[in-house]
Amino acid sequence: MLAYLIRRLIAVVIMVLVVLLATFTVFYMLPRWAGQDIAVLFAGKATGAEQVEGIRTKLGLDDPLLAQFWEFVKGIPMGREFANGNDVTQCPAPCFGYSFVTEEPVWNTLKDALPVTGALAAGACVLWLAAGVATGVVSALKRGTIWDRGAMTVALGGVSLPIFFTGMVAMGIFVHSLGWVQITDNLSTDDPVGVWFETLLLPWIVLALLNAAMYARLTRATMLEVLGEDYIRTARAKGLGERVVITRHALRSAMTPILTVFGLDIGVLLGGAVLTESTFNLPGLGLAAVQAISSKDLPVILGVTLFAALAIAVANLVVDLLYAVIDPRVRLG
Amino acid sequence: MLSKRRLAAGAALVVAALVTTTACGGGDGDSDNGSDKGAGYNAGLDKVVNASTKKGGTLKFIGKQDFDSLDPQRSYYGMTWDFMRFFTRTLVTYDTKPGDASNKLVGDLATGPAEVSDDGKTYTYKLRDGLTWEDGSTLTSKDVKYGIERIWATDVITGGTPYLRTTLDPEGEYPGPYKDKSKDKLGLKAIETPDDKTVVFKLPKPNGDFEQFLAMPTGAPVKQSEDTGAKYTNKPFSSGPYKVESRQAGKSLVLVRNTNWKKSSDPLRPALPDKITVTISANLEENDKRLMEGDYDLDVNGTGMTQSGRVSAIQEHKESLDNIQTSFVRYVALVHTAKPFDDANCRKAVFYATDFAGLQQVRGGEVAAGEIANSVFPKSIPGYTDYDPYGVLARKGKPDIAKAKEALKECGQPNGFSTKLTARNNNPGEVDAAEALQEQLGKVGIKVEVDPIDGAQSSSITGSPKVVKERGYGMTMTGWGPDFPTGQGYGQPLFDSRFIFPNGNYNESQIKDKAIDKMFDDAIASTDPAEAKKIYEDMNKRLLDNADWMPFIYEKNISWRGSRLTNVYSSAAYNGRYDYVMLGVTK
C-alpha cells in the first residue's frame, strides 16, 4: 500500500510540473516567439523603452525558459525577490509569483479566494452527490415508471441549462422578485457564518442542479448494469434482504465510476467555478482568474492555473486511494 | 403518451413562469429607493440635478472594472482620475461645472491658474492657506515637487502618464527620487520651491497645455515619509476630504472622511457623503439590476449600461437615465504603408463606400452607440468643425457608390483591391461592425478580410508597425479618447509622425505629414487657446482632405443616475462621466 501511495505521489508531482511547464510556456514563451513583448504588458499604457527594459530585467524575462521556470518553482518553497538595481520587490514563500497590478504576492490573492471556492465546492458537492446518487438509485430501481421518467427529464434539463442561465433566473426570482435571499457582495472571512450560508445557498443549489443531473444519470446507468450482474442474483439467491443487496453489494460496486467522476469534478471546482463565481460575484479563484485575465495580470492567471492543476491532481490521488477502500481488487493490482 | 404531453406542457409552463418573473424582477425590489422617481431623461447632461448641500449618508458605487491604481502617479484610467479627486488634490483641476464648462482649469492646491512668464517657459503657483495631509501635517510645495518627481522613477512607478516628465526633462537626465543622490531627494532642476508655498516650473520650451498635465493625478503631491514606492497604490496618503479606510484590489474600496482636511482650503469639493464605498462585481447584468433596485447609486466605470439593462431601464426608469456624449471616437485607421492606401484616392474610396449609418446601426443605434462622426476631433475638443468633405452627414451616413468607384479609378484600382481589416474581439460589437464594413466595401470591389485580434494585445499587434506590415493589415478598427481635453491631448498620438513607435503606437494610419507635425508644434507652443483652436481646425481639414483617418462614431452611452444622488451632472473633462467629487446622497 505504501509503495502504491509513493508511486501515486510521484506521479502527481510530475503531472503538476508538466502542467506548470506547459502553462509557463504558454504565458511567457509563446508571446515572445510570436514577436510580442510581454514586458510591455507589465508596463501599462505609457510605455518608454527604458521602462520596459527595467521590467524585463526585474522579472528576468530575457532568461532562458528553463531558468525562468526554475526560479518560479524554487520560489514556491523558498520565496524569491525581483530586483532591478536598487528596486527590489520581495515575494515571501510560498511565492506563486508577484502581481504588478495589485502590488501583492499572488499567494495573497489565492489565500483570500480559497475559502470562498472551498465553501462553494464543499456545499455544492454534498448537495449534488446526495441528490444525484439518490435520484439515480431510485430511477434504477423503479425503472420505466413515472418516477424514473420524471427524474430523468429533470436531470436532462439540469444538464442542459447553463449556470449563467439558471443562476440569473434563480437570482431574478429569489433575490430580486421574492427577496427571500440576500446576496452579500465580496464575501470575506470577516462575515458571519449566516451571511456565508445565505450568500452561498443559491450558488450551491444552481451548481448542484447541474452536477446532480449528471450524477443521477450516471448512477442510474451504472446501477442498472450492476443489478444485472450474476453476483447480485447470487446475493439475492442467498436470501439477503433487498436493502443489503442494493446498498452493500450493488451501490458499492456502482460507486467506482461515480467516484472517478466525483474526484475530477471536485478538483475542477476547487480550481475555480468560473461561471458560478462570475454570475454570483463570489470572490473565489474562478473570479480571480477572470479579473486577472481582464487586467492582463499574468502572474495571477498562472497562480490560479497552477492551483487548479494541483487541486485536480490531489483530488485524483484521493480518489485512487479510495478505490482501494471500495474495491479490494485495486489493492491487488 | 398523454403523460408525456402533460409533462411537456408542465415544463413549458414552468419555464414561462420563470422567464416572466425574471423579466419583471428589475423594478419592484423591496429597497427604499428603487421606486423613487429620477429627475428626468437627460436631466444630468448640462445642468445640476438635485442641487444640495446636505451632508451625510453613504455614496455607493458599483462597477465591473477595478481602478488601475490608487497611486496618483500610476493611474491612467479616466474613471480613476475622476474618482481620485476624493483623496488627491493637484495644483489645478477641472472646474466643477456641468458639460463643456468643466474643461476650464481652476486652482485646487494653488490659489488659481499659473502666472506664466512672457516667454511661456516659467509657470509659478502660489499654494492656498491651510493645506494639510491626512495626519494633520502641512502640505508644502516640496510635497508637490516630490510627488511629481516620482514619475521619473520609471522602473517602480509604472503605468501613469509621461507628459510632465517628457515636457520638463525631455533628455531624461533626472534619475527619479529613489536614485536621487541629493539629501532631500528633491534634485529635479526643472521644479523650484523657493518657499513652502511657491512652486515654479521651468520648461525647456513652451507648451500651451502644460497646466493640463498638472491637472492629471501625475501632478499630485506625495508626502516623502509616506511614500511606499510601488506599494503606495494600496494605501495612498490623502490630501483631500476622504481617506482610504480599506482596500481589496479587485473587490472593494471604502473611503471615510479625512478629518484633517479643511474646507476653508478647498473651495471646490463639497464633501457631502460621510462614507464612499466601491464594490467591484463581475456580472454586468446583475450590476444593472442592483442599480435599478437602488442597492447602489451609480456605476463607477461610467461606460454605460448593458444591452439588457438599457432595455428595461428605458422602459421602466427612463427618468433616471442620461444619454451621455463621451469624448470617445470609433474609427478606422487607413494604413498608409499598406498598398494601395499610400494613394489618397484609394483611401477616399473607403470614405465614400462606407455606410456610416449601417455601422451605427450595427453598434446599437444613435442612443446606445452614438452619433455619426464627420470630424477627426470629437465635439468637446477644440478643433472640431462641421467640415464634411465626403458628404457623410449630408447623406445621413449613407454611402455614395458612384463617387467611391470614381475614386477607385483615380487611384488606378478601377476593379477594387484586397486588404485586411483588424477588429478587437474583446470589444463588444467591434467585430460585427468590421464585418458590416467588409460587406459595404465589397459592393465597390474592395475585398476585405476581417482579422479579429486579441484586444488586450493590441498595443503589440496593431501598435507595432512591424507586425502590421508582416501581417499585411491595411485597416484597423478601434476607438480613442483623449488623455486631456485639447488637440494635443487627443490628437498627437494619433496623427503626429514623431509618435510612431515600434510598440504601443497609436498613429496606426502611420501618417507622416510634416505639415501636420508643424501644426502640432505651433499649436502647442501657443499659449492662446483661440489660436491653438484655429490650428487644430486647419489640421482637421487637412487630415480629412487627405482621407488619412476615418472616424465613424462619436460614442454615447446610457448611464444610470441613482435617485438618491444629489449634485449630479456629466463632466466633459471626465469623458462625460458624472463629476464624482461633487456627489451627495439624500439619505
pLDDT in tens, A181-209: 888 887 888 888 889 999 999 999 988 88
User: Which residues of chain B does A54 touch, with a Cβ-Cβ cutoff of 8 Å?
Assistant: 154-155
pLDDT at residue B182, rounded to an integer: 92
Cα gap A111→B529, rounded to integer Å = 53
Contact B233 A103 (CB under 8 A): yes
pLDDT at residue A9, rounded to an integer: 85
Chain B's closest residue to A280, CA to CA, is B283
Q: Where in chain B is the domain with CATH 3.40.190.10?
A: 58-272+562-585
Contact A45 B159 (CB under 8 A): yes
What does the mean pLDDT of chain A come to?
83
Q: Which residues of B80-92 are buried (b: 16+ CB within 10 A; e: fewer)?
A: bbbbbbbbbbbbb
> A288 and A101 in contact (C-beta within 8 Å)?
no
Question: Tens of pLDDT along A263-302?
Answer: 888 888 877 688 899 889 899 999 998 888 877 788 888 8
- Which DSSP symbol is given to B256? E
Q: Where in chain A is the domain with CATH 1.10.3720.10?
A: 106-332
Q: Identify which of B159, B229, B283 has the shortest CB distance to residue A44.
A: B159
- Going by C-alpha positions, the residue among B294, B181, B387, B348 that lies closest to residue B587 is B294
pLDDT at residue A330, rounded to an integer: 63
- Going by C-alpha positions, the residue among B345, B296, B329 that lies closest to residue B555 is B329
pLDDT at residue B29, rounded to an integer: 36
Distance from CA of A206 to the nearest CA of B (A): 14
B105, β-bridge pairs: B94
For residue A77, is pLDDT > 80? Answer: yes
User: Which residues of chain B does A168 touch, with a Cβ-Cβ cutoff of 8 Å?
Assistant: 22, 285-286
pLDDT at residue B250, rounded to an integer: 85
Q: Identify which of B154, B289, B467 has the shortest CB distance to residue A50.
A: B154
pLDDT at residue A45, rounded to an integer: 58
Return the CATH fold of B326-557. Answer: Dipeptide-binding Protein; domain 3 (3.10.105)
Return the percent helix, strand and coil in chain B, to nearest 5: 35, 20, 45
Distance from CA of A316 to the nearest CA of B (A): 31
B553, β-bridge pairs: B330, B372
Contact B282 A287 (CB under 8 A): yes
Contact B282 A278 (CB under 8 A): yes
Cα gap B86→B255, rounded to integer Å = 8
B155, B165, B173, B503: best to mutate for the A interface, most A CBs within 10 A: B155
pLDDT at residue A237, rounded to an integer: 86
Q: Is the ipTM of this complex over 0.85?
A: no
pLDDT at residue A21, rounded to an integer: 86
> How many other CB atoms are found less than 10 A from the CB of residue B175?
15
- Which DSSP symbol is given to B132? B
The grid coordinates listed for B442 are 465589397
CATH class entry, domain A106-332: mainly alpha
Contact A36 B280 (CB under 8 A): no
User: Which residues of chain A does B281 touch, with a Cβ-Cβ cutoff of 8 Å?
Assistant: 185-186, 281
Contact B457 A153 (CB under 8 A): no
Q: Identify which of A35, A54, A149 has the shortest CB distance to residue B155.
A: A54
Q: Identify which of A84, A288, A291 has the shortest CB distance to residue B155.
A: A84
Cα gap A103→A82, rounded to integer Å = 12
**What is the rounded radius of gyration, in angstroms, for the C-alpha atoms of chain A?**
24
State chain A's maximal CA–CA distance in angstroms.
84
A176, A182, A183: best to mutate for the B interface, most B CBs within 10 A: A176
Q: Where in chain B is the domain with CATH 3.10.105.10?
A: 326-557
> How would CATH label the architecture of B58-272+562-585?
3-Layer(aba) Sandwich (3.40)
Cα gap B273→A222, rounded to integer Å = 62
The grid coordinates listed for A98 are 508577484
Contact A45 B26 (CB under 8 A): no
Contact A104 B29 (CB under 8 A): no
Half-sphere exposure in the Cβ direction for B45 (13 Å, CA): 14
Residue tagged 488619412 (cell numbers): B548
Contact A176 B25 (CB under 8 A): yes
Contact A176 B3 (CB under 8 A): no
Contact A153 B11 (CB under 8 A): yes
* Pairing status of strand B549-560 against strand A98-99: unpaired
User: Which residues of chain B does A84 touch, with a Cβ-Cβ cutoff of 8 Å?
Assistant: 155
Contact A295 B234 (CB under 8 A): no
User: Which residues of chain B does A103 touch, with a Cβ-Cβ cutoff of 8 Å?
Assistant: 230-231, 233-234
Which parts of chain B sit beneath pLDDT 70? 1-36, 456
Q: Which helix (H) or strand (E) holds A214?
A: helix A193-227
DSSP conformation letters of B183-194 = TTS---TTEEEE
Cα torsion angle, B326, B332, B336, B342, sign: negative
Cα gap A153→B111, rounded to integer Å = 73
User: Which residues of chain B does A188 touch, with a Cβ-Cβ cutoff of 8 Å?
Assistant: 248
Contact A51 B459 (CB under 8 A): no
Residues ≥6 apart with Cβ < 8 Å to B433? B330, B359, B362, B363, B423, B477
pLDDT at residue B456, rounded to an integer: 67
Question: Tens of pLDDT along A205-255?
Answer: 988 888 888 888 888 888 888 888 888 888 888 888 888 888 878 888 888
Chain B's closest residue to A34, CA to CA, is B467
Asked if the peptide bond before residue B206 counts as cis, ω within 30 degrees of 0, the response is no
Any idea which of A92-96, A149-153, B458-462 has the lowest mean pLDDT?
Answer: B458-462
- Going by C-alpha positions, the residue among B212, B45, B256, B21 that lies closest to residue B113 is B212
A45, A57, A297: best to mutate for the B interface, most B CBs within 10 A: A45
* Pairing status of strand B447-453 against strand B418-424: parallel
Contact B293 A176 (CB under 8 A): yes
For residue A8, is pLDDT > 50? Answer: yes
Chain A's closest residue to B172, CA to CA, is A50
Chain A's closest residue to B229, CA to CA, is A87
Residues ≥6 apart with Cβ < 8 Å to A55? A39, A42, A43, A61, A84, A100, B155, B158
Q: How many helices (H) and strands (E) does chain A have?
A: 16, 4
Contact B161 A48 (CB under 8 A): no
Residue tagged 476585405 (cell numbers): B448
> A302 and B293 in contact (C-beta within 8 Å)?
no
> How many other CB atoms are found less than 10 A from the CB of residue B370?
25
Mean pLDDT of A153-159: 82
